[in-house]
């Protein structure tokens, strides 16, 4: 009996509960403890400056190289007599929508020249709008009836009981942009290539080759462009471009590409069909011809931003140099510790 | 005097905690515990608690704090109330009837609970509903749920179903898995418990039965070293006197043996042969493990049962072959199970402050939502006429028979809906996930605290314990430390030092008994028995004690040591050693003082070798003598003494009394020998002034008549059913008088290792250390000196008064002096000299809970050191409350004993020392550790780290979520104020789940701003936590301004760069997603101080994980953004944008940070630099204070 007590006591002593030592549990893992010394601070400012200023210059230069023609036509293309009542003009399918205008090429434009249409004040990112599409339906004929998200352009009631779906359904497709442009230069029609304007991924995967438009733009009101019901969606590149909803209320969309170069001072005659109704909500329409560089279209903002940041960094580097020279502080000097400072003062 | 209800209420509640001194703690801490709310009527509140036990379980510490009365006046009032209750009988409604050995009848009318236990919360079927129910008790989850439900309404569906449920589902899932795992482990443990076999009497034979099948009323037999399966009343034991020794370590953590007795009436019965029957009438189940009230009817006789007759579930039988008992409580009604409840939860200071900022954030949220909905309203109003035709609005639905509005509910409703929708979109402005991250971080921090080998106490083999998981960071902001003395600053390992016997002081040279021959031993059956602990003895006294003649001094020495050996509750246990011819006697007892005295007596040749309930055997200088123990009056904190009535072999009867000097001199007959009394008093004074604990021993021979009267009243009292403790006390007071003084003993309670250094460090760290002790003033002051709490340069203000008026006066005087002195020190700029306040418990009675409190506070806050001596447990809490209620400073209380429980619970942070005095302090504490000196690494190192980490993590989470919300908000302004997000809904959801969650948690657990070495070398660095340097309102606003700037950069650089371009919304959304995740992680990376491989992995891993997620999302053809990221990444503009965003967003932050670092460096910054650049030089020069170096 006593034996057991002894054993128990000595046993519990032998098994130490001392935590096993490891660098992890003692929080002593090898670690890199960077401290930014004055040298590092100045160096990093300078490094940023020397990186950013050239990038800024290069992007400004690239943006400068871009030649861009922007022509706003929504006002000009309304005949004088309809200026007072634009909506009546645009909604009337009988009125002549053709509009001819001349534009001049300011500088030499090298191919490919991109033809865009630009809409202003058109909220393609509006909540009601972006939701109103059925990606399933676009992809495969099997999902023709999945139109739940597409209200109110969901379906067409043939009889009170049965209904047939609209393909492609939804507000986005319904409001397909349908102005057309023909460019004529020196009596020759400039060929606008409308192939390859949509993303390859959209053509190959997202829009099904067995999905054909059905009941599209059936019944009033008509939102915009019509689709050829014999061409599958995977070939309808204008639709694909339109269905890639824009991020911002001012946006451009690719209309086509011109593969010939345009010389400076060339005059181009634009013959356009002004079909699309932006008048009812105060939107604007523009035709844009633009070359591109690696930075995309014409945009000085990034270049300026880079130059500003680079300049600030350069300025800060100088400031810090001055600070370190005129008000040096030895690193890790214990006399700067608050309790030491108190006794000194 | 009728007590007012609040006082009684407070008292009842306190006495129900397992914290107060207990009737069982015989003689424990004789000289230190002066609790005025005493223990003797401890059973009474328990009875009371029977009547409202349900309400008591639910009372949280807060309500207790509010109603408690800290002066001892309230307590004494409540005392009398207690007595009145005690006179009541147990009425049948409140009693449980147990028919001994008749479980059928016992369980007939009342369904008593069986012995199977279920600590598991759930079963397979109830898991889902019950777990969900419990989880939704948390506000955070409710918020998630409400947002998710809102999102399900078709008008408001911002996110898809799956995406909106995901955050809630993932959190619920993780928690449910955790709960399920814990529950599974509990089930497993329950199964083992329930299936353990025990012998139960069935049909007059003991048979093995599974533990879960045991019923109330059955008779069980438990053998040595077996665990008791349920609460049993002892009927008989292997010991003929009916004693059983039990170890209660599973119950209260005390490892010493306790004695339990069978009643005379039952101990001779053998269950297999005799028919045992009877009726036990006992209390309803309650959680007081130290109280039990019952009576038993056996053979027509009525006997009373008390706490010493019951053995509780979980105890282990030791030194007794078998115990037979009848089951009175089983299963979850056992006291052990009823006590299975967690510690009360506290909320950390940082979290309280954080909640304030969260309210601000919700204001931001509401503001954003109002802006959006107001703008949406204006927009709709302005375009009201166009809505029907707008291609992107199309209010009218022409496809139906009747043209009607589609999804348009009128302007007012639209505004309202857009408000709700913006709440859904901007929901993460309120960082609910932060609460979950904080919990994870605290678990991680606790892991590292527990695993810290610098806080492991090798002596007691105890690890650091983290009992509360939600106040880790409070450890970094402590301003006041309240410490107990005995067992906390000192070791509570008592060593007998000096004796004063009949006026002669024996404090001369000591002989070291380290050789084998020197130590006292006795021969028993050819074996050598010696005491387990060796004691240094006084050579002169040793010689005197060995000579036995009839001189007066020799007789007095004989009586003195006899008293030391006999007047106690120590049980000698013979322990084998490696040498078969040698055995050690281990004195087991509940009071370390008594152990020290018995060991001392043994060293002087009075070796206690056997104790049963009826007699003791003492080997006196090699001659064995047997004394009958006729009666024993156990220690209580009112009398502060205990006594034993011994029957000598020659049938003379003497009463021996030992106790604290204050109460002993009242009962000593001074007329017997005045000079002896005087010189003893002098000796006592000199002993206590060097920090020793003193006890006075007295004796009186009893005449036969006296003895007879005593015996009758003793028997009546000890069999009384109600108010037994009070009756026994009266009997004791009647016999403990007119004593002749034998002498006094002085016991040293040594300071723990490293205490002076620890106190020094704490004070350097700007922490005020107050010591609250039950000891005498002289002892307290001397300990104060030896622990470097007091220095000779300090001016001491001593307040020691007996009336309110004098208290008031001395407080006023002290205030004037201290003010003067502080002015002087300010002028001389000598911060060494300062004021120390020493105040005693009697004065505190008049000061606490009166208008003088304010003055005391003012005085105390001017003092560098405050020593409170002779304070009662509740006064300790009162002093903590004095500071806590008047300042914003954080308090920490540290203690080891039951008397510290109230203070531990009162303080913001309670630390328990898992030492000698049992585990009650530990049970009440938030953190528990083995040694006082661990407080330094705990607060200065872990506390500092925890605070810095948590503070940073909170700010960072605010920033992270607000940044995302701002970006969403800016975009909404460009969508006609309709709640569109170009960032895909999956990215929105994954943002706080995958993209950015792990790095903050890793940094919150692992990042260290300073090394342990620097923190220990410069305790002043702790001040950053006290000054709230890492989390305050200013930092919050600075962070928010930075957030605003960063969101502007992230949003507007791409916006302007892609203005008038053919970018689609998914591509721009991807750019924003990547940009925000990159800068959020880079922002964190800029603030990480220590880059271990884990931080590298988590930060860069998160960025990579984000990229992968974005790619995966864009590879799903069903989503509108199919392939967007690939098209985007092929354009140069994207990369230029990304780089520009990263740099431009970080630059202001970088500039300000660098500028502040150079011009206004904080202490932490300098120490960090010193660590890196001058480490070797600086730290070795100043770094003498290394806490874990062996001291002395």
Contacts of B1141 in chain A (CB under 8 A): none
- Mark yes or no for CB contact A302/B976 under 8 Å: no
Return all residues near B173 (Cβ < 8 A) that are at least 6 apart.
none
Lowest mean pLDDT among B155-159, B363-367, B497-501: B155-159
Element of type H or E holding B173: helix B161-195
Contact B527, B710 (CB under 8 A): no
Binding-site residues of B for Mg(2+): 484, 486, 896, 900
Are B406 and B397 a contacting pair, CB within 8 Å?
Answer: yes
Residue A66: what pLDDT? 93
Q: Give percent above pLDDT 90 in chain B.
A: 24
Which has the higher per-residue pLDDT, B812 or B920?
Answer: B812
pLDDT digits (tens, 9 = 90+) for B707-752: 999 988 888 887 766 667 788 888 888 888 888 888 898 888 788 8
A302 to chain B: nearest residue by CA? Answer: B1057
Give the pLDDT mean for B550-573. Answer: 84
| Bridge-based pairing state of the strands B692-702 and B653-659 | antiparallel
Average pLDDT over residues B14-34: 35
For residue range B241-268, what is the model confidence (pLDDT) as tens digits?
Answer: 777 888 776 666 556 677 788 887 787 7
Is the Cβ–Cβ distance between B870 and B890 less than 8 Å? no
Phi, psi of B251 (to 5 degrees): -95, -55
Q: Tell me if chain B has a CB within 8 Å of the CB of A318.
A: no
Note whether A199 and A244 are within 8 A (CB). yes
Instruction: Tell me which chain A residue has its CA closest to the CA of residue B444.
Output: A25
The count of residues in chain A is 345
Continuous segment of H or E residues that includes residue A294: none
Residue B345 has a pLDDT of 61
Main-chain dihedrals φ then ψ at residue B1116, nearest 5 degrees? -95, 115
Q: Give the nearest partner residue to B394 out of A30, A135, A152, using CB atoms.
A: A152
Chain A CB contacts of B1094 under 8 Å are 29
- ipTM over 0.90 threshold: yes
Residue B260 three-state SS? strand
Let me know: does B441 contact B1001? Beta carbons within 8 Å: yes
Nearest to A299 among B390, B463, B1057 (CB): B1057
Identify the pLDDT of residue B65: 35
- State which residue of chain A sits closest to B462, comparing Cα positions: A17
Buried-exposed string B561-576: b where 16+ CB fall within 10 A, e elsewhere: bbbbbbbbbbbbbbbe
Spatial distance between the Cα atoms of B367 and B555, rounded to a whole number of angstroms: 90
Among partner residues A156, A175, A301, which is closest to B399 by beta-carbon distance? A156
**The pairing of beta strand B835-840 with beta strand B795-799:** parallel
Q: Which residues pair with B505 in a beta bridge?
A: B500
DSSP B1020: G
B1164 CA to centre of own chain: 31
pLDDT of B420 above 80: yes
CA distance A262 to chain B (A): 22
The string of DSSP codes covering B718-775 is: HH-SSSHHHHHHHHHHHHS-SBEEEEEEEEEEEEPTTHHHHHHHHHHTT-EEEEE-SS
Neighbours of B1019 (CB within 10 A): 22
Using DSSP bridges, classify how beta strands B310-311 and A155-157 pair: parallel, antiparallel or unpaired. Answer: unpaired
pLDDT at B504 exceeding the cut of 80: yes
Return the H-helix or E-strand segment holding B1.
Answer: none
Best mutation target among A56, A58, A128 (most B Cβ atoms within 10 Å) is A128
Q: Which residues pair with B702 in a beta bridge?
A: B653
State how far the Cα of B582 lies from the Cα of B526, in Å rounded to an integer.
Answer: 9
Instruction: Say which of A17, A29, A219 has its CB closest to residue B463.
Output: A17
Is the link from the previous residue into B1116 a cis peptide, with omega within 30 of 0? no
Q: Does the distance separating the beta carbons of A35 and B383 come in below 8 Å? A: no
Indicate the average pLDDT of chain A.
87
Predicted local distance difference test score (pLDDT) of residue B749: 79
Q: Tell me the percentage of chain B whose pLDDT exceeds 70.
A: 85
Long-range contacts from B986-991, C-beta under 8 angstroms, 24+ separation: B986/B163, B986/B1109, B986/B1113, B987/B1069, B987/B1073, B987/B1109, B987/B1110, B987/B1113, B988/B159, B988/B163, B988/B964, B989/B159, B989/B163, B989/B164, B989/B166, B989/B167, B990/B1109, B991/B428, B991/B964, B991/B1073, B991/B1076, B991/B1077
* Cβ contact A205–B1120 (<8 Å): no
Closest-CA residue of B relative to A24 is B448
Average pLDDT of the segment spanning B668-694: 83
Higher model confidence: residue A3 or residue B427? B427
Q: In what order do the strands lie in the sheet with B95-99?
A: B95-99, B279-283, B294-298, B301-305
Give the minimum alpha-carbon distance from B1117 to chain A in angstroms, rounded to a whole number. Answer: 6
pLDDT digits (tens, 9 = 90+) for B65-75: 333 344 433 33
**Residue B63 pLDDT greater than 60, yes or no:** no
| Residues of B with catalytic roles | 484
Q: Does A328 touch chain B (CB under 8 A)?
A: no
Closest CA to B524 of B581, B470, B483, B479: B581
| More confident call, B1189 vs B765 | B765
Report the C-alpha gap between B951 and B1004 in whole angstroms: 9
pLDDT at A155: 67
Is A201 within 8 Å of B1122 when comparing Cβ atoms?
A: yes
Using 50 as the pLDDT threshold, list the residues of chain A that sit under it. 1-13, 345
β partners of residue B653: B647, B702
State residue B405's pLDDT score.
75
More confident residue, B1118 or B519: B1118
Picking from B383, B1063, B1143, the nearest residue to A281 by CB comes out as B383
Report, as an integer, the average pLDDT of B149-156.
Answer: 83
Q: How far is B575 from chain A (nearest CA, A)?
A: 6
Residues of A in contact with B575 (CB under 8 A): 2, 5-6, 9
At residue B93, the pLDDT reads: 66
Cβ–Cβ of B1137/A302 closer than 8 Å? yes
Do the beta carbons of residue B566 and residue B616 sit within 8 Å?
Answer: yes
Cα A97 to Cα A213, A222, B445, distances in angstroms: 25, 16, 74
Quick one: closest CA in B to A44, which residue? Answer: B1150
From A138, A152, A146, select the one nearest A201 (Cα to Cα). A138
Determine what percent of chain B falls in helix, strand and coil, rounding each to the nearest 5.
50, 20, 30
Q: Which residues, other chains included, contact A42 with Cβ-Cβ below 8 Å and sequence gap of 6+?
A: A317, A320, A321, A324
List strand residue ranges (DSSP E) for B900-951, in order: 909-913, 927-929
Highest-scoring range by mean pLDDT, B35-49, B201-215, B987-1001: B987-1001
Query: Which residue did the predictor score with more confidence, B534 or B1054?
Result: B1054
Q: What backbone torsions phi and psi does residue B321 show, to the nearest 5 degrees?
A: -65, -45
Q: What is the rounded distance in angstroms from the CA atom of residue B675 to the CA atom of residue B802? A: 28
More confident residue, B831 or B885: B885
Residues of A in contact with B406 (CB under 8 A): 151-152
Predicted confidence (pLDDT) at residue B182 exceeds the cutoff of 50? yes
pLDDT at B1147 over 90: yes
pLDDT in tens, B1058-1067: 999 999 999 9
Beta bridge partners of B687: none
Q: If you search the block for the tokens 């003067």, which residue do you land on?
A: B820
Rounded-to-integer distance, Cα B781 and Cα B800, Å: 13
pLDDT of residue B90 exceeding 70, the answer is no
pLDDT tens digits for range B992-1021? 888 999 999 999 999 999 999 999 989 999
Question: From edge to edge, which strands make up the β-sheet containing B257-261?
Answer: B257-261, B243-247, B316-318
Whether B1133 and A199 lie within 8 Å, measured CB to CB: no
- Using DSSP, state whether B280 is helix, strand or coil: strand
pLDDT at B764 over 80: yes
Binding site membership of B for ATP: which residues? 484-486, 594, 635, 658, 693, 773-775, 870, 876, 899-900
Chain A residues lying within 8 Å of B1005, measured CB to CB: none
Q: Which long-range contacts (CB under 8 A, 24 or more apart) does B910-917 make?
A: B911/B935, B911/B938, B913/B484, B913/B487, B913/B488, B914/B253, B914/B460, B914/B462, B914/B465, B915/B460, B915/B487, B915/B488, B915/B491, B915/B492, B916/B487, B916/B492, B916/B493, B916/B592, B917/B28, B917/B29, B917/B486, B917/B487, B917/B492
Q: How many inter-chain contacts (A to B, CB under 8 Å) are there?
A: 307
Residue in B376, B385, B391 to test binding to A, most A beta-carbons within 10 Å: B391
Tell me if the bond preceding A112 is cis, omega within 30° of 0. Answer: yes
Comparing CA positions, the residue from B675, B784, B704, B696 lying closest to residue B745 is B696
What is the per-residue pLDDT for B1141? 96
Instruction: Output the average pLDDT for chain B.
Output: 80
Question: pLDDT at position A108, please?
Answer: 93
d(CA B261, CA B268): 13
Query: Quick check: B39 pLDDT over 70?
Result: no
What is the H or E stretch that residue B243 is in?
strand B243-247
Query: How is residue A193 annotated by DSSP?
Result: E
Q: How far is A309 from chain B (nearest CA, A)?
A: 7
Residues from chain A contacting residue B383 (CB–CB below 8 Å):
281
A13 contact B CB<8A: yes
With bands split at pLDDT 50, 70 and 90, how would you rate the model's confidence at B60?
A: very low
CA-nearest residue of chain A to B1013?
A: A28
Reported as type and span, the H/E element at residue B896 is: none
Report pLDDT for B105: 79
DSSP H or E run through B606:
strand B606-611
């Amino acid at each position: 009996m006593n034996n057991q007590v002894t054993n128990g006591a000595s046993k519990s002593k032998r098994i130490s509960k001392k935590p096993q030592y490891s660098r992890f549990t003692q929080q002593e893992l090898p670690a890199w403890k960077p401290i930014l010394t004055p040298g590092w601070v100045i160096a990093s400012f300078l490094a940023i400056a020397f990186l950013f200023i050239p990038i800024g210059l290069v992007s400004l230069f690239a943006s400068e190289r871009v030649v861009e023609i922007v022509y706003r036509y929504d006002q000009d293309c309304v005949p004088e007599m309809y200026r007072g009542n634009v909506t009546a003009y645009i909604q009337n399918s009988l009125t002549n929508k053709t509009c001819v205008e001349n534009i001049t090429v300011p500088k030499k434009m090298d191919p490919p020249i991109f033809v865009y249409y630009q809409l202003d004040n058109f909220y393609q990112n509006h909540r009601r709008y972006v939701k109103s599409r059925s990606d399933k339906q676009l992809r495969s004929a099997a999902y023709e009836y999945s139109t739940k998200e597409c209200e109110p352009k969901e379906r067409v009631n043939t009889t009170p009981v049965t209904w047939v779906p609209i393909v492609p359904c939804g507000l986005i497709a319904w409001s397909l942009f349908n102005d057309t442009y023909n460019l004529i230069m020196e009596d020759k029609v400039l060929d606008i290539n409308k192939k390859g304007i949509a993303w390859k991924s959209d053509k190959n995967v997202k829009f099904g080759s067995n999905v054909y438009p059905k009941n599209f733009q059936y019944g009033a009101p008509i939102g915009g462009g019509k689709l050829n019901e014999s061409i599958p969606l995977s070939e309808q590149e204008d639709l694909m471009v339109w269905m890639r909803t824009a991020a911002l209320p001012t946006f451009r969309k690719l209309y086509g590409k011109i593969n010939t170069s345009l010389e400076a001072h060339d005059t181009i005659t634009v013959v356009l069909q002004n079909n699309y109704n932006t008048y009812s909500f105060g939107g604007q329409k523009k035709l844009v011809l633009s070359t591109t560089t690696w930075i995309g279209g014409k945009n000085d903002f990034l270049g300026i931003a880079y130059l500003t940041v680079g300049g600030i960094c350069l300025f800060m580097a100088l400031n810090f140099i001055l600070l370190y020279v005129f008000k040096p502080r030895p690193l890790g000097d214990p006399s700067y510790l608050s309790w030491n400072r108190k006794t000194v003062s | 005097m009728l007590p007012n209800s609040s006082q009684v209420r407070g008292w009842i509640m306190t006495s129900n905690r397992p914290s107060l001194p207990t009737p069982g703690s015989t003689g424990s801490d004789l000289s230190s515990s002066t609790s005025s709310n005493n223990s003797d009527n401890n059973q009474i509140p328990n009875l009371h608690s029977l009547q409202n036990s349900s309400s008591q379980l639910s009372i949280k510490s807060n309500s207790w704090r509010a109603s408690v009365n800290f002066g001892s006046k309230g307590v004494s009032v409540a005392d009398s109330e207690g007595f009145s209750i005690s006179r009541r009988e147990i009425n049948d409604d409140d009693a449980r009837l147990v028919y001994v050995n008749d479980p059928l009848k016992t369980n007939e009318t009342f369904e008593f609970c069986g012995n199977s236990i279920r600590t598991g919360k759930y079963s397979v079927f109830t898991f889902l509903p019950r777990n969900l129910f419990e989880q939704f008790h948390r506000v955070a989850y409710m918020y998630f749920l409400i947002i998710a439900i809102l999102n399900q309404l078709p008008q408001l569906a911002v996110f898809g179903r799956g995406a909106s449920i995901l955050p809630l589902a993932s959190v619920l899932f993780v928690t449910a898995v955790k709960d399920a795992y814990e529950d599974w482990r509990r089930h497993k443990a329950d199964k083992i418990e329930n299936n353990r076999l025990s012998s139960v009497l069935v049909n007059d034979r003991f048979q093995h039965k599974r533990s879960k099948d045991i019923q109330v009323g059955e008779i069980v037999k438990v053998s040595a070293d077996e665990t008791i399966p349920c609460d049993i009343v002892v009927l008989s034991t292997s010991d003929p006197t009916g004693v059983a020794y039990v170890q209660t370590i599973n119950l209260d953590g005390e490892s010493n043996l306790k004695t339990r007795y069978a009643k005379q009436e039952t101990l001779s019965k053998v269950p297999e042969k005799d028919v045992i029957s009877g009726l036990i009438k006992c209390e309803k189940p309650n959680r007081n493990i130290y109280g039990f009230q019952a009576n038993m009817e056996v053979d027509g006789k009525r006997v009373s049962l008390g706490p010493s007759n019951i053995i509780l579930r979980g105890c282990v039988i030791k030194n007794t072959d078998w115990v037979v008992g009848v089951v009175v409580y089983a299963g979850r009604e056992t006291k052990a199970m009823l006590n299975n409840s967690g510690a009360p939860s506290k909320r950390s200071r940082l979290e309280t402050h954080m909640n304030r900022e969260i309210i601000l954030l919700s204001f931001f949220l509401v503001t954003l939502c109002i802006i959006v909905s107001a703008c949406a309203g204006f927009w709709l109003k302005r375009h009201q006429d166009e809505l029907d035709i707008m291609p992107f609005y199309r209010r009218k639905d022409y496809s139906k028979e009747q043209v009607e509005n589609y999804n348009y509910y009128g302007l007012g409703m639209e505004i309202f809906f857009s408000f709700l929708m913006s709440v859904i979109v901007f929901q993460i402005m309120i960082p609910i996930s932060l609460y979950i991250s904080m919990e994870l971080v605290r678990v991680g921090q606790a892991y590292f605290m527990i695993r810290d080998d610098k806080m492991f106490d090798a002596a007691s083999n105890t690890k650091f314990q983290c009992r509360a998981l939600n106040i880790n960071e409070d450890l970094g902001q402590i301003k006041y430390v309240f410490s107990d003395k005995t067992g906390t600053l000192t070791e509570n390992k008592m060593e007998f030092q000096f004796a004063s016997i009949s006026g002669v002081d024996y404090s001369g040279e000591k002989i070291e008994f380290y050789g084998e021959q020197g130590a006292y031993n006795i021969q028993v059956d050819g074996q050598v028995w010696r005491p387990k602990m060796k004691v240094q003895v006084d050579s002169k006294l040793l010689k005197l004690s060995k000579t036995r003649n009839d001189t007066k001094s020799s007789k007095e020495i004989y009586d003195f040591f006899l008293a030391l050996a006999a007047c106690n509750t120590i049980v000698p246990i013979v322990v084998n050693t490696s040498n078969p011819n040698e055995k050690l006697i281990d004195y087991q007892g509940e009071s370390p003082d008594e152990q020290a005295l018995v060991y001392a007596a043994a060293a002087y040749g009075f070796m206690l070798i056997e104790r049963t309930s009826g007699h003791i055997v003492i080997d006196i200088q090699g001659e064995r003598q047997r004394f009958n123990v006729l009666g024993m009056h156990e220690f209580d904190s009112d009398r502060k003494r205990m006594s034993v009535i011994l029957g000598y072999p020659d049938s003379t009867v003497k009463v021996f009394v030992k106790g604290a000097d204050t109460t002993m001199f009242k009962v000593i007959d001074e007329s017997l020998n005045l000079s002896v009394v005087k010189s003893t008093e002098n000796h006592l004074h000199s002993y206590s002034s060097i920090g020793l604990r003193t006890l006075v021993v007295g004796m009186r021979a009893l005449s036969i008549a006296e003895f007879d009267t005593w015996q009758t009243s003793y028997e009546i009292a000890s069999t009384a059913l109600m108010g037994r403790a009070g009756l026994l006390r009266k009997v004791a007071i009647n016999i403990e008088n007119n004593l002749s003084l034998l002498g006094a003993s002085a016991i040293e309670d040594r300071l723990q290792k490293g205490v002076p250094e620890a106190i020094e460090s704490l004070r350097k760290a700007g922490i005020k250390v107050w010591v609250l002790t039950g000891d005498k003033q002289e002892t307290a002051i001397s300990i104060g000196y030896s622990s470097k709490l007091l220095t000779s340069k300090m001016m001491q203000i001593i307040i020691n008064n007996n009336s309110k008026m004098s208290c008031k006066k001395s407080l006023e005087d002290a205030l004037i002096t201290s003010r003067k002195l502080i002015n002087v020190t300010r002028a001389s700029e000598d911060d060494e000299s300062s004021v120390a306040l020493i105040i005693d418990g009697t004065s505190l009675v008049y000061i606490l809970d009166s208008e003088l409190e304010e003055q005391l506070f003012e005085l105390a806050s001017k003092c560098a050191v405050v020593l409170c001596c002779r304070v009662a447990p509740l006064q300790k809490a009162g002093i903590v409350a004095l500071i806590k209620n008047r300042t914003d400073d954080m308090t920490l209380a540290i203690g080891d004993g039951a008397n510290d429980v109230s203070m531990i619970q009162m303080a913001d942070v309670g630390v328990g020392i898992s030492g000698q005095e049992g585990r009650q302090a530990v049970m009440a504490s938030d953190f528990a550790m083995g040694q006082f000196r661990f407080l330094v690494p705990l607060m200065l190192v872990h506390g500092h780290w925890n605070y810095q980490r948590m503070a940073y993590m909170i700010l960072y989470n605010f920033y992270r979520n607000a940044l995302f919300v701002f970006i969403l908000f800016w975009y909404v302004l460009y969508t006609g104020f309709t709640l569109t997000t170009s960032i895909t809904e999956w990215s929105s959801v994954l943002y706080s789940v995958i993209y950015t969650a792990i790095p903050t948690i890793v940094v919150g657990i692992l990042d260290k701003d300073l090394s342990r070495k620097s923190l220990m070398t410069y305790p002043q660095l702790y001040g950053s936590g006290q000054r709230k340097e890492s989390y305050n309102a200013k930092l919050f606003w600075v962070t928010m301004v930075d957030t605003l700037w960063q969101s502007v950069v992230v949003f507007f650089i791409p916006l302007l760069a892609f203005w008038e371009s053919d970018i689609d919304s998914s591509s721009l959304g991807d750019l924003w997603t990547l940009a925000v995740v990159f800068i959020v992680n880079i922002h964190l990376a800029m603030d990480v101080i220590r880059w271990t491989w884990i931080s590298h992995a988590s930060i860069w891993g998160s960025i990579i994980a984000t990229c992968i997620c974005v790619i995966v999302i864009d590879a799903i053809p069903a989503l509108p953004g199919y392939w967007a990221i690939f098209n985007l990444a092929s354009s140069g503009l994207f990369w230029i944008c990304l780089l520009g965003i990263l740099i431009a967003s970080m630059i202001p932050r970088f500039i300000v940070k660098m500028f502040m670092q150079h011009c206004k460096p904080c202490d932490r910054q300098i120490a960090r630099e010193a660590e890196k650049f001058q480490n070797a030089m600086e730290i070795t020069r100043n770094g003498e204070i290394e806490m874990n170096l062996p001291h002395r």
